[in-house]
Structure 1
């Protein structure tokens, strides 16, 4: 059998993950069958199993990518990056991604592996941001977790309320963040509004 080059492998994997993510966002993890993913991807079941061992493997890959993107968005200026992450929640076309996020959060209650991945993906940004808040608050880790909760709450409110004013939400979050932003960056990037 000819060896598949890395770019072809990556493209096929992406095609499968995109199809699986769309199915999971629409139907949830448990109501989505492998046959649903086969249909959505246009790839045979046999070929899918060459890339993934099953749905749980796809879920793990999706969760890892999802959190990696958010971590990357924080960039060199976590305060401004955080506000950019909040802005992205309200961007057009993000609804399926937000639905998938809620599916992942719900799955953490049932699946210890997904819970461990999700917890690790909260712990990393908390560990990265808490030192930046040191000296500005009594409990920097707790404050970092508050900002994670603000993000999670915005995701839920966005799915529940089509009329939510995301810019107003981001401005308010910027005001909350301002006292903790590094000197010389008042508002943690909130002035970019």
Structure 2
């Protein structure tokens, strides 16, 4: 159960996401976020000193969520069922309100803000390593061939998910579940070791 402080942080982040999606990162002020969450500036600044700190919290939350999902896949006995479940979870997350818009705002900010770029790269590298760790575990269990280029496969899977996130931002009306079956097949193909 979330503590009062954690619940308050979540309220502030939810309000910030709405503001960023509505006006963009640079056009949004901390006062806008205070008004949206209906808290005084002092209350908001107690948790987040700047918009950069809010973006950092979004990045950390996203990385932690993916790490939790990958850990759950690793606990399943059947890798393939676990990966199918993972794809469903990721597509649901990308399809949730504001996720794609917020991802686009964060992505844009990485082009101009070295601090945010560094945070996003660290998160991406952590996600990449977590995928490699999951696939290495599957190799140890005899569920994957041992001659796979795991770093490259992990890169390609992340690219696929990033691409779908971008598409959802560009076409919010698209139902991403339509891609689920093909995405699952593509990931299985990449992990099969089959080459043309």
Q: How does 1:165-176 map to 2 (within 5 A)?
A: 165-176=175-186
C-alpha RMSD of matched pairs (Å): 2.4
Does residue 79 of the first structure (1) align with residue 83 of the second (2)? yes
**Structure 2 counterpart SS, 1:99:** helix
Does residue 13 of the first structure (1) align with residue 6 of the second (2)? no
Say which of 43, 46, 51 aligns to 1:55: 51
Which 10-residue stretch deviates more, 138-147 or 71-80? Answer: 71-80
CA positional deviation for 1:23: 0.8
The unaligned stretches of length 5 or more in structure 1 are 1-5, 183-193
CA positional deviation for 1:179: 3.7
What is the number of equivalent residue pairs in this alignment? 175
The unaligned stretches of length 5 or more in structure 2 are 74-81, 140-144
CA deviation map 1:47-103 (0-9, x unaligned):
212222121111111221122122222333262353124421564xx1312100111
TM-score (norm 2): 0.78
Higher relative contact order (CA 8 A, sep 6+): 2
Judge conservation of contact 1:89–1:98 (CA < 8 Å) in 2.
Answer: no
TM-score (norm 1): 0.79
